[in-house]
Chain A
Amino acid sequence: MSTIATADTGHHDATKEHGHGEHHHPELGFLQRWVFSTDHKVIGLQYAVTGLSFLFFGFLLMLVMRWQLASPGQPVPMVGAFLRSVFGQTVMTDAGALTAAGYNVFGAMHGTIMVFFGIVPVAVAGFGNFVVPLQIGAPDMAFPKLNMASFWCFFTSCVIMTGSFFVPGSAAKSGWTAYPPLAGIADLEGGNIWLNGQTIWLIAMVFNITGSLLGSINFITTIIQLRAPGLTWMRLPFFVWAQFVTAFLLVLAFPPLEAAGFMQLTDRVLGTSFFMPTGLMIGQSVAQTWSGGGSPILWQHLFWFLAHPEVYVLILPAIGIVSEVVANNTRKPLHGYKAMVYSVFVLGFLSFIVWAHHMYMTGMGAKVAAFFQVTTIMISVPSVILLTSLLMSLWGGSIRFNTPMLFATAFLPMFGLGGLTGIPLAFNAVDLFLHDTYYVIGHFHYVVAPGTIFGLFAGVYFWYPKVTGRKMSEFLGHVHFWGSLITINGIFFPMFLQGMAGVHRRWYDGGVTYEQLAGPVLHWNMVMTVSAGLLALFQLVFIWNFFTSWKLGQKVGRNPWDATTLDWDTPTPPPHGNFDKPLMVYRGPYEYSVPGHPTDFIPQTEKV
């Protein structure tokens, strides 16, 4: 039996049963259609909507922090009283100002939420679920029920993590990195060992990680097993490659953190000493709860073993999205497609052996530091290849600057800036100075905010018509784009200046206490805070556009962008089972502007 025959029958059956859209399933109630669904598209939307909500929530937490940094101790304007009633007295003073503990809560939860509850769910699980099966011509994911289980695992973790704001002492306060021994002792004194921020944080993370693992296994299997006939590996859209490598990173890097999470949990509730050193002093006396013998450094190793690959998990899907948008709007094949594919693999591989560049300050010796320094510099090579390929793809194209393309174009220099500022950090000697300053914060936010998040915006504007059958407003899209681009640089660029002047990332009064050191750069706090507030306003434009276009946007057909890949070869919106015709793929993913062809694009399924 040949490949073609097997897969063909599969698609045929799917077509017969499901080919004519959802209206053939009138028996599906709201619950089965939108809540307990096993359809990859619905699950993708569930992830995306949950994730986008968390991104916004995490951003609001940061707005409050930014207010505090620019005007330390002042009540938060307008919403201060409201925040006091929601978050309680640990977090807000009666006057409505952020407390020191509250600053820690918001900081830890901002990081956690943005990374594990915002970006990853949207970029990996949201776009991945919706787009990957469509782009490879599959009727669904390989394990639809498992897919649903992943989402509900993730959703459980969301509920638990959000709930932790409302336990006595409020949510976790030890940073998204949860370093022991601080995280090991946090909230334990006089508190309930289960009902406190840090313990709940760990429990929520275990659910979150489990959901991620199940999802990634599903992605890899789907991509290997369910590619349509004729869709050979080198004909895969780059987005699929990016998701493929991302899924591998998640499968192999997350488990050690899950293990470490169990260990920190038992340190907290069973009194073990995995991460608790001998002779640990709390206040004036040696802690009696722990036998000692553990190592805080062990946590850092296990944490960063995940968390470095995790940063590539944050960026790769965005690069994938940008590649699709760039190829489509330059009307040219991607420059160096193969080089990009190999780079993404090298990148994935190297990302597992660089983790200790986050730990130069732990007293590691010169030999080991040298090793991690070298691997870290090596990993910038494939990153540069990816970025250069995308830049070269712009060359000589007759570019259509629609909203997705604007975001994709801006992604390139922003991601570039984030990457470049990372290189000094790779060097041990420089990092000893810059570690834990705002320079680091600036570095990773350039990668993640105007980088990844812009990539995600590009993706939302790009695939929105496929999901809803309507385009989002171009005018509002342009307003959103230009506003965001300018303000986001207003937030993050000054961080480099402050960081190089030595401003520490965790000062809760914005540096006032250290006036003598930070004085010359303190005025930037106001610039950053105002920019953050304006950025929030421009996001309202996006939210408005997102919801109103659902009903009012310009109606479009199957392939509004004249794209080549299989996701645009389905009805809009795609029905249950996805494709309304048997599939056969004849060509690569980006055959744009092929000389001699009547249109400037050739869909992958076109034989000619």
Chain B
Amino acid sequence: MSAPHTDHSSQPVLDSSSIHDVPANAAEIASHAVEYLKVGAALLVLTGVTVGLSYVDFGSRNMNIVVGMIVATIKAGLVAAIFMHLKGEKITIWRFLVMTGIFAAGLFFLTYLAHSDPISGTFHATH
């Protein structure tokens, strides 16, 4: 990832305005490349872990689901934080993503609540 001398912007075809230059943070980006590789590897390993754990008997199906979801959340967190640059992303974006998270959680949770607290005899099991 770190071979700046093959840079096309230094070729004569192009005019030399600043947008063609390698940005000042190029070195930083290059150093990120290693991080991206590591995260990619971690994700692959965690995929293996998810599959493996699903065949371990944790006592009940529900426990397996909980464990599986925890691993999936970790993976999703890695993708969001590193690949999607959420780590260090601007506050504006964070603000409404937090809201989105709250409302999405509300959608899951309240739906579940309404489902789990029926007046007996009025709400029929769905199958």
Contact = CB atoms under 8 A, between A and B. Distances in A.
Q: Do chains A and B touch in the complex (CB under 8 A)?
A: yes
A292 B110 contact: no
The main secondary structure of chain B at its interface with chain A is helix
Q: How large is the interface on B (under 10, 10 to 19, 20 to 34, 35 or more residues)?
A: 20 to 34
B120 to A, nearest CB: 9
Interface in B79-126: 92, 96, 99-100, 103, 106-107, 110-111, 113-115, 117-119, 122-124, 126
Contacts of B114: 297, 301, 356, 359, 362, 364, 368
Interface string A358-382: 0100111111100100000000000
A353 B113 CA distance: 12
B127 interface: yes
Candidate in B110, B114, B127 with the most chain A CB atoms within 10 angstroms: B114
Contact of B106 (A224, A353, A367): A353
B110 to A, nearest CB: 7
A365 B106 contact: no
Given A364-B118, A364-B119, A277 B126 contact: yes
Nearest to B115: A297
A248 B110 contact: no
Contact of A352 (B103, B113, B127): B103
Contacts of B126: 277-278, 293-295
A252 interface: yes
Interface centre among B113, B118, B126 (most CB of A within 10 A): B126
Nearest to A305: B107
A256 interface: yes
Nearest to A353: B106
Contacts of B110: 353, 356, 368, 371
Contacts of A301: 111, 114
Contacts of B96: 220, 248
A368 B99 contact: no
A409 to B, nearest CB: 34
Contacts of A353: 106, 110
B106 A363 contact: no
A365 B92 contact: no
A368 B119 CA distance: 10
A252 B106 CA distance: 12
A362 B123 contact: yes
B117 A293 contact: no
B23 to A, nearest CB: 15
A349 to B, nearest CB: 8
A367 B127 contact: no
Contacts, number: 57
Contacts of B113: 367-368, 371
B99 A252 contact: yes
Interface string B34-76: 0000000000000000000000000000000000000000000
Pick from B103, B113, B118 the residue with the most CB of A within 10 Å.
B103
Interface string A238-278: 00000000001000110010000000000000000000011
A248 B95 CA distance: 12
Contacts of A356: 110, 114
Contacts of A371: 110, 113
B123 A252 contact: no
Nearest to A256: B107
A293 B96 CA distance: 36
Contacts of A256: 107
A426 B82 CA distance: 45
Given A278-B126, A353-B106, A224 B92 contact: yes
Residue with the greatest number of chain B CB neighbours at <10 A, chosen from A224, A277, A362, A363: A363
A367 B117 contact: yes
A365 B115 CA distance: 9
B117 A252 contact: no
B103 A363 contact: no
A248 B111 CA distance: 21
Nearest to A276: B126
A546 B110 CA distance: 47
Output the residue of A252, A294, A366 with the most chain B CB within 10 A. A252
Nearest to A352: B103
Nearest to B109: A353
Given A356-B114, A368-B114, A371-B113, A363 B123 contact: yes
Interface string A287-303: 00000111101100100
Nearest to A291: B127
A364 B117 contact: yes
Nearest to A356: B114
A157 B92 CA distance: 33
Contact of B127 (A293, A298, A349, A364): A293
Nearest to B92: A224
Interface string A198-237: 0000000000000000000000100010000000000000
30 contacts: A220-B96, A252-B99, A252-B100, A253-B103, A277-B124, A278-B127, A293-B126, A293-B127, A294-B126, A297-B115, A298-B111, A301-B111, A301-B114, A305-B107, A349-B99, A352-B106, A353-B110, A356-B110, A359-B114, A362-B123, A364-B114, A364-B118, A364-B119, A364-B123, A365-B117, A366-B117, A368-B110, A368-B113, A368-B117, A371-B113
Given A278-B126, A294-B126, 9 more contacts: A220-B96, A252-B103, A301-B111, A352-B103, A362-B114, A365-B117, A365-B118, A365-B119, A366-B119
